[in-house]
Amino acid sequence: MESSHHTTPDPISQEAAQLVKEKYRRLSQRGRICLAIGFLLMGLSFAINLILFHNNGDFATAMYILTSLGSGFILFGLGCILGF
């Protein structure tokens, strides 16, 4: 009696699997780009806040806007990488 476990895969299912793999690759790439932008914005926020603080400038607006944008990009990037 021959086992049915050694059947050849369906070409349509292979194509669908390839499309899903490509979709997650694109999402992962988008996620890495968003993470990089988020970390860049957080670093920029830190540098601007440090300069404004030492010059006795008002740093609250720059702090909240850049930090919020940076954390938003980081969360979106993580969501893309994890597949949400």
Rounded to whole angstroms, the Cα distance separating 18 from 38 reads 30
- According to the model, what pLDDT value does residue 56 have? 85
| Alpha-helix runs per DSSP H in 1-84 | 11-54, 60-82
Rounded to whole angstroms, the Cα distance separating 3 from 73 reads 51
pLDDT at 69 over 90: yes
- According to the model, what pLDDT value does residue 4 have? 57
pTM comes to 0.74
pLDDT in tens, 1-60: 555 566 666 777 888 888 888 888 898 999 999 999 999 999 999 999 999 888 887 878
Give the position of tokens 């499309």: 19
Instruction: Domain ranges for the chain, please list them.
Output: 26-82
Give mean pLDDT, residues 70-75: 95
- According to the model, what pLDDT value does residue 43 have? 94
